[in-house]
Amino acid sequence: MAVNPKSGSATFRPRARIIQALGRDLISNEVIAIQELIKNAYDADATRVTITFEEPFTPAHGAVTISDNGDGMDLKVIRGAWMEPATISKLRKKKTRKGRRVTGEKGIGRFAAARIARVLEMTTNPRGSSKQIHVRFDWGAFEDESRYLDEIKCKWRVESLSSSRGHGATLRMIGLNDEWDEDQQRDMTSFSDLRAELSRLVAPLQKDEFAIELRLPPRLKAMAGLITPPEVLGKPHYRLHGSVNSKGQLTAFYEGPNETGELLDDGKKPLILLQGGRKPSCGPFSFEFRVWDRQRDDLQPLAEAFNATIRDIRRDLDAASGISVYRDRFRVLVPEQDWLRLDLRRVQNPTLRLSNNQIVGRISISADRNPGLKDQTNRQGIVDTPQLEDLKATLMEILSKLEVKRDNHRRQARTQATGVGIFEKLQIAPIRAYLVQRYPHDRELLSFVDRASRTFEEGVGEVQQVLARYRRLATLGQLIDVVLHEGRTPISTIRNEMDLAMGDLSKAGGTQINDQLSGRFRVITEQTEMLSLLFKRLAPFSGRRRGRPSKITLERIIRNSFDLYAQKIRELGVTVSLPEGETWVTVDPSEMQMIFVNLLDNALHWLEKVKDRQIVILIRKLDVGLQVTFSDSGPGVPEDIRERIFEPYFSTKAEGIGLGLTIAGETAAEYEGGLELMANGPLAGATFRILLRKRLGADGDE
């Protein structure tokens, strides 16, 4: 047949090996493949699935049988849907006969069967039919590189039954592709992994609605039987459950050792707002978090209650730990157990934050209500979208509330911290006075005490200098985001202007080109000055040696602090009222600026949670020094944590480290002052009072 080389049309004709290739690419292991076939049984309205393994569990041997009591498939469905990869049948019909939301919309179940074994023998009894259908798929035939997909024939036959044998489907997969093992001792698929994953798969389902049974040889009976979650999951130390609606409103109930009730802010349900004051775009979802303290003393009562060892309890928690996402009541597989990076987050604040192995969580979403949260093609994760990022950020906000509740219980004995410096507690003078009074004539002792006092005070002074540098570094960490955010624009402008200038130079010269270049370089100069100003503002926070106190107005220090956050203040639309006039002080500007930078960073974070955004700062001269009032219109500080906000590493921010207020309080204490949270102030949110006494005379004198 002649072929016109200039025009024409053609169709794709895939090779037969595409079935095996897609099976390996779409489904990475046998455990995932089995779960995909279980989902098909759920979509068939089954109430029970049985998985039976036959030895030997080595490649090309053994078998796996998955049977269910679902509706079964007639020949039309087998030929028109099951044998049609990427079928659209479930896209058209999204609800089952029982009203279940179908889970297998991508139509890759047959690839799962090919991933497990070399041959599939499928037997199905359609509901209400006296026919039984047998189909055989020899996946090995699809590996023939010389044959096309449409050349491979799959044989079927239909039998009439004299009596009804019930309904459902049985998939017998013969000749395993990979080796299975009892445990994770070797590099192969393990039954312990399978059981753990199946336990997660059915966690939100009632056993009488959908049950999974695992049948294994007698030597593996410990892992066989009905799949149920470990008993310890029913006895968490802390529990938080609830939902977030489409408007970001949080409804949550907390259950702890000595407290139970709904989480409320000022008597109202909390509102989750993300960066910039946005409502989460992920859509509504429900959640449940169960948390355990894993120290031996904490787990011992559970071990005794379940007649188990602490090792058993920890093993069960390890197997179930992590936060799982369920779409329409079936688990969405994710490639990483700690997909929220809880362990990395805990490194920064191990006292307050939860690790991944302490929590068993469940997030329930829906394909209909959360369309932006879609599975990856390989069913091992959710596509990375803005909606997924919003879901993560919202979960971290919720988790931080649970962490604060847990930490309150664990640290009830802590005393109120109001900005008093730790160095005020390190005083050797009272000890010296006592010894002088008790032993006035012991010259050798008094000489020793004098030497020890000087050494101690010198040591404290050195520690103060070291901590001052660390405070700078801690505050500098907060400002890195400011540099990255505000530095990008002038750098981008400089780059663009240089490109345009080079383009102008390549054109014809003359007066016109000179004028153009003058304009270009003027813009470059302006942008360079912006960067220089930004770096100048950050210079006091460098790790260089502590500077000498200098004479400066407090108003200027405050303005410089706000200038660092100028762009974020504009983006959030914050109305700022700063003090006017000149209040001269003699201080280390970088130390004083650290107080206001930390307070401002805190305020801007919480102002994102409200619509009316204001900050007011007032300066008042007192007989004993100066008082600065820093007030914002944010949500304020809840009553149950007001006494704790100055504690190191305590933070209600989802990603907070908990050092900002501690640094500010310690810095104020070094000026013989303090930092405290006021009961009320100029604005309805949080109001802090900074009291400064040292080196604050009207003329800058002590």
Same domain, 133 and 149: yes
**Amino acid identity for residue 693 in this structure:** R
pTM: 0.69
Q: How confident is the model at residue 480 (pLDDT cuts 50, 70, 90)?
A: low
Q: According to the model, what pLDDT value does residue 481 have? A: 52
E-strand ranges in 77-130 read: 117-125
| End residue of a domain, out of 522, 541, 560 | 541
Q: Please indicate, yes or no, if residue 322 is contained in any of the structural domains.
A: yes
Q: According to the model, what pLDDT value does residue 696 have? A: 57
Is pLDDT larger for residue 317 or for residue 456? 317
Minimal CA–CA distance to 367: which of 71, 43, 699, 692? 43
Same domain, 236 and 220: no
Minimal CA–CA distance to 303: which of 220, 411, 230? 230
Domain holding 127: CATH number? 3.30.565.10
Q: Please indicate, yes or no, if residue 2 is contained in any of the structural domains.
A: no
What is d(CA 348, CA 664) in angstroms, rounded to the nearest whole number? 19
Same domain, 390 and 271: yes
Compute the average pLDDT of residues 121-126.
Answer: 93
Q: According to the model, what pLDDT value does residue 601 have? A: 87
Compute the average pLDDT of residues 282-309.
Answer: 93
Q: Please indicate, yes or no, if residue 200 is contained in any of the structural domains.
A: yes
Whether the Cβ atoms of residue 390 and residue 317 lie closer than 8 Å to each other: no
Compute the average pLDDT of residues 98-124.
Answer: 80
Same domain, 535 and 388: no
**HSE, side-chain direction, 13 A CA sphere, residue 599:** 29
Same domain, 580 and 534: no
Whether the Cβ atoms of residue 584 and residue 552 lie closer than 8 Å to each other: yes
Would you state the structure tokens that stand for residue 486, as one six-digit string? 């505000």
Order across the sheet with 155-160: list the strands: 155-160, 131-138, 117-125, 168-176, 63-68, 48-54, 211-215, 225-226
Compute the average pLDDT of residues 676-686.
Answer: 91
Helix (H) or strand (E) holding 687, with range, is: strand 687-692
Q: Please indicate, yes or no, if residue 419 is contained in any of the structural domains.
A: no
Q: Which letter, b or e, does each residue of 590-627 get, where b requires 16 or more Cβ atoms within 10 Å of its Cβ?
A: bbbbbbbbbbbbbbbbbbbbbeebbbbbbbeeeeebbe
Same domain, 80 and 153: yes
Same domain, 603 and 645: yes
| End residue of a domain, out of 506, 541, 576 | 541
Residue 652 above 70 pLDDT? yes
Q: Please indicate, yes or no, if residue 405 is contained in any of the structural domains.
A: yes
Q: According to the model, what pLDDT value does residue 106 have? A: 54
Helix (H) or strand (E) holding 430, with range, is: helix 429-438
List the single range of 42-46, 506-510, 605-609 with lowest mean pLDDT. 506-510
Q: Please indicate, yes or no, if residue 97 is contained in any of the structural domains.
A: yes
Same domain, 253 and 184: no
Residue 416 above 50 pLDDT? no
Q: According to the model, what pLDDT value does residue 398 have? A: 95
Whether the Cβ atoms of residue 671 and residue 587 lie closer than 8 Å to each other: yes
The most distant pair of C-alpha atoms in the chain lies apart, rounded to whole Å, by 124
Whether the Cβ atoms of residue 429 and residue 450 lie closer than 8 Å to each other: no
Q: According to the model, what pLDDT value does residue 701 have? A: 46
| End residue of a domain, out of 196, 227, 258 | 227
What is d(CA 638, CA 483) in angstroms, rounded to the nearest whole number? 32
Same domain, 311 and 250: yes
Number of domains in the chain: 4
Q: According to the model, what pLDDT value does residue 420 have? A: 47
The CA angle 236-242-246, to the nearest 5 degrees, is 150
Q: According to the model, what pLDDT value does residue 252 have? A: 95
Domain that holds residue 445: 431-541
Q: Please indicate, yes or no, if residue 508 is contained in any of the structural domains.
A: yes
Give Cα 597 distance to the centre of its chain: 26
Same domain, 139 and 248: no
The CA angle 129-130-133, to the nearest 5 degrees, is 85
Minimal CA–CA distance to 395: which of 558, 252, 191, 236? 252
Q: Please indicate, yes or no, if residue 219 is contained in any of the structural domains.
A: yes
Residue 498 above 80 pLDDT? no
pLDDT in tens, 228-252: 888 899 999 999 999 999 999 999 9
Same domain, 534 and 439: yes
Q: How confident is the model at residue 423 (pLDDT cuts 50, 70, 90)?
A: low
Q: How confident is the model at residue 419 (pLDDT cuts 50, 70, 90)?
A: very low
Within 10 Å of residue 584's Cβ, how many Cβ atoms? 16
Phi, psi (rounded to 5 degrees) for 167:
-135, 160
Give the chain's count of helices (H) and strands (E): 17, 24
Phi, psi (rounded to 5 degrees) for 97:
-60, -35
Residue 521 above 80 pLDDT? no
Same domain, 110 and 151: yes
